[in-house]
Amino acid sequence: MHDPKYKHHAWDSTAYLVDTFGSRLLGSKSLELAIDYLRNLFEMEGFENVRKENVKLSKKWVRGKEHISLFSPRPEETSIPMVGLGKSVGGNVTSEVVMIENFEELEQKGKAGILKDKIVFLNPKWENYKKTVKYRKHGGARSSKWGALGCVIRSITPFSTPIPHTGGISEDEEEDKIYKSIPSAAISTQSADMLARIIKRGHKVVLNIYMEAHFIEGDFESNNLIAEIKGSKYPDEIILIGGHIDSWDVGPQTGAWDDAGGVFVCYEAMRLLINLGLKPLRTIRLVIWTGEEFGKAESKGAEAYLKTHENEMQNHVLAFESDFGVSDIYGFGFTGGSKGFNLVKSIVNILFKDQGFSLLTRNDGYSSDITPLFKSHKIPIMRSLNFDTPDLKTYFTYYHSGADNMNVLNPDEMDRNAAAIASLFYILADVPWKLPRD
């Protein structure tokens, strides 16, 4: 049965999923039940070729209990809000803290033997996500290299909130694999500022890090979810749109913003087109990826999609992902050849000129689940540009934390995202020519 409601339907649908299933860590029951729920929803709404595609996992990461306590200089043990970093090992270490502000200082102090048997506290200034995230990804391994027992990082976020932000540590670089992992966790920027003040006064800081985090080896699985509006004339040619359904697990609503909102603006775009009876020449394929959050080496859903659909890659015309928030949209980013860019730009300019936005920027289409499509097959990729692009300060204030919740999603803004996605990708699926890759 088709729900006739449109206004705020994307927000309401996101809220239902978030309230019912909660956060959706890769390997969890909640994630798979949420995927099954979406499959049924897509079928009920009349989406075509709805199917799950199996994604094999040889291990899964479990967080377990975790906490950080501050001893010295406090007269009594004080708990510090923390979250373990994804893929970290567990441990129970108590030691003096050495504050480090950048990797150059880490190397110097490491060579001088100052970090041995200590807890490294990485307190880098926020510049932007790209420049600062390396401390989360590689901080534990590089501290371990110099004999540190644990690593605590300042959350990778621009704004001070009382809530810490998690995220994956990396296995991408050789050093990440060589050096023994040590328990690695994030604390809030407020806690980081406090520790920095204490240390700068010359007082000794002693912390205890307790983390039960570990991997379980075994035959596990998750699923990508696919649904389509089949093309009337070129059913094999695919315009792909989507978002990722897995999330971090650090709050009761975590994953509303990153990325259930992205999933549901694409869902709503599909639903609008179906309920309006619009059937484009090409197929519009909705892909809901799993396993995005664990980073490149374990970006399982995107990797599995690429393998499963290897023989269709020549027919993928364009791919879009919404994974940078669903706040007010003012344009699209595009990565691909110049001919394709100019054609899409001319459509965007005409289509949205009266809506207060018409921007299409070049080399700005990257998004983690679609970047592999461009890198391996030069398929043009796109993402939406929201009001806080390019530095995404608002996005990074909420992501990967307990502050990620339905209240940061705006129903009207989600409607505008869905409408923009529906109109642009419908037209690109319905133009008589196929978008060139060069």
Q: Could you list the residues that contact Zn ion (CB under 5 A)?
A: 258-259, 323
Q: CB count, 10 Å around CB of 362?
A: 13
Residue closer to Zn ion, measured from CB, 249 or 259: 259
Residue with Cβ nearer Zn ion (369 or 415):
369
For residue 326, the minimal CB distance to Zn ion (Å) is 11
The nearest distance, CB 56 to Zn ion, in angstroms, is 22
**Cβ distance to Zn ion smaller for residue 229 or 260:** 260
Q: Which two tokens stand for residue 321?
A: 């992902």
Largest CA distance in the chain: 75
Shortest spacing between CB 259 and Zn ion, in angstroms: 4
Q: Cβ 161 to Zn ion, closest distance in Å? A: 19
Pairwise CA distance, residues 101 & 121, whole Å: 8
Output the six-digit token pair for 11. 């927000």
- Report the nearest approach of Zn ion to the CB of residue 255 (Å): 9
Parallel/antiparallel/unpaired status of strands 206-211 and 66-70: antiparallel
Reduced to 3 states, what is the DSSP secondary structure of residue 99? Answer: strand
Of 176 and 259, CB closest to Zn ion: 259
Q: Least distance in Å: CB of 290 to Zn ion?
A: 12
Residue nearer to Zn ion on the CB measure, 258 or 268: 258
Q: How far is the CB of 245 from Zn ion (least distance, A)?
A: 10
- What H or E segment, with its residue span, contains residue 187? strand 184-187
Rounded distance between C-alpha atoms, residue 23 and residue 284, angstroms? 28
Catalytic residue among 292, 298, 321, 413: 292
10 Å Cβ neighbour count for 210? Answer: 20
87 by DSSP, 3-state: which?
coil
CB nearer Zn ion, residue 50 or residue 302: 302
Question: What are the helix (H) ranges across 309-404?
Answer: 338-351, 371-377, 393-398
Edge-to-edge, what's the strand order for the sheet holding 282-289?
Answer: 48-62, 214-229, 282-289, 234-244, 316-321, 381-386, 329-335, 359-362
What is the three-class DSSP state of 274? Answer: helix
CA distance 113 to 92: 22
Please identify, using beta-carbon distances, which residue of 101 and 391 lies nearer to Zn ion.
391
CB 275 within 8 A of CB 308: no
Would residue 221 show up in a list of annotated catalytic residues for this protein?
Answer: no
| Residues 134, 221, 34: CA angle, nearest 5 degrees | 85
> Do the Cβ atoms of 247 and 21 come closer than 8 Å?
no
Residues with a known catalytic role: 292
